[in-house]
Amino acid sequence: MLYIPNKDIFNILNSLGYDVSLTSDNIINQKPSITYHVETNKPNLDTELNILYQDIEVVVNVWAESKVKTIEMTKEIYDIMGEHGYFAKLISDRPTLEPNLYHVFFRFSKIKI
C-alpha cells in the first residue's frame, strides 16, 4: 500500500509548537514558522508491481525574525526528523529580500519499507 507522508510530517513538525504549513510556495502566516512539502514519494516495485519500499524526500523551510531563532529551530527540526527516520541531505541558509527575515532550507530523505 502506498504511504502518503504529509499528515505524519505535519504532526512531527507541529509538535515543536511553531506555525506549520504544507506549501511549496513559502507563504508565511507568522514568524517563526515552518513550511514544508513532499518533494518526492517514489514507490519501488517488485516484478508483481507490489511496493517494496518508497524513496521519500521532504523539503522543510524555517522562517524567523532572527538568526538566533533559525539556529534554534534548525537544531530542533534536525533532531525530531532524525528521530522519525528522516535524515538531512542538505541544510542551507537562504537569503531573503525582506529585512529581519531569516530562512533555512532543509532536504530530508527517508526510505519507507
Q: What is the pLDDT of residues 6-33, one digit of tens each?
A: 999 999 999 999 999 998 777 787 899 9
Q: Give me the sheet containing 33-45, strands edge to edge.
A: 19-22, 33-45, 51-64, 102-112, 87-94
pTM attached to this predicted model: 0.93
Q: Which residue has the cell 521519500?
A: 56
Q: What is the pLDDT of residues 103-112, one digit of tens each?
A: 999 999 999 9
Can you tell me the distance from the alpha carbon of 27 to that of 3, in angstroms, rounded to the nearest whole number?
Answer: 26
- The domain segmentation of the chain, as residue ranges, is 6-112
CATH class of the structural domain 6-112? alpha beta
What pLDDT, on the 0 to 100 scale, is given for residue 107? 98
The alpha carbons of the chain give a radius of gyration, in whole angstroms, of: 15
Nearest residue to 66 (alpha-carbon basis) of 32, 24, 113: 32
